[in-house]
Amino acid sequence: MIETRSQSSAEVELLSFRLAEQEYSVDIMSVREIRGWTRATPLPHSPPFMRGVINLRGTVLPVIDLASRLGMPPVEGDARNVIIVVHAGGQSVGLLVDAVSDILALPRTELQPPPELAADLAHSFVQALTIVDGRMIRVLDLSAVLPTYQTEAA
């Protein structure tokens, strides 16, 4: 009999990474690959957090400086940095981060909602918080982090 690994809905796997000495994570199901630093080609009139685009095996992939997107100083962009390719909301995007840390498997019960603070923009990007080995890890809401491209109705 062949056993298959099934992920319990009571458990979530997260890819954790560092940004400016802080730890964040995303649901590993949204991660497509992790790439080494690649210089992005800037595009005119793009938002300040948009680093540019890279060639991902023949596909143009936008790269977001995640630190800048979250209101922190931008990532330097050198050989120590990595790009996490994620797919969410029907689009694939590269997230430039300082470094990938770990893969965490946690019971969903250990995820806590962030505190609600008035006019707190960070609240809209953080889906949950968890504590692992005494470290506070933020779980990002990718749908809030990724830019939305709206088309105007004629």
pLDDT of residue 137: 96
pLDDT of residue 115: 84
pLDDT of residue 18: 95
Surface-to-core class of residue 20, CB atoms within 10 Å of its CB (0-12 exposed, 13-18 middle, 19+ buried): middle
Q: For the chain, what percent of residues have pLDDT higher than 70?
A: 86
Count of beta carbons in the 10 Å neighbourhood of residue 128: 19
- How many residues are present in the chain? 154
Surface-to-core class of residue 60, CB atoms within 10 Å of its CB (0-12 exposed, 13-18 middle, 19+ buried): exposed
According to DSSP, residue 121 is labeled: H
Residue 129 near residue 15, CB atoms below 8 Å: no
Residue 115 near residue 128, CB atoms below 8 Å: no
Q: Distances in Å between the alpha carbon of 122 and those of 25, 37, 63, 115? A: 14, 26, 20, 10
Domains and CATH numbers, the chain: 12-145 (2.40.50.180)
Structure tokens that stand for 69 in this block:
């997107």
pLDDT in tens, 18-68: 998 899 999 999 999 999 999 999 999 999 999 999 999 999 999 999 999
Q: Report CA dihedral (137, 141, 146, 152) to the nearest 10 degrees.
A: -160
Dump strand ranges (E) for 90-132: 91-97, 99-107, 126-132
Q: Whole-model pTM?
A: 0.85
pLDDT of residue 152: 39
pLDDT in tens, 144-153: 888 776 543 4
pLDDT of residue 119: 58
Degrees to nearest 5, angle at CA 69 with 73 and 99: 65
pLDDT in tens, 62-94: 999 999 999 899 988 888 999 999 998 889 999
Is a pLDDT exceeding 80 seen at residue 4?
A: no
pLDDT of residue 154: 39
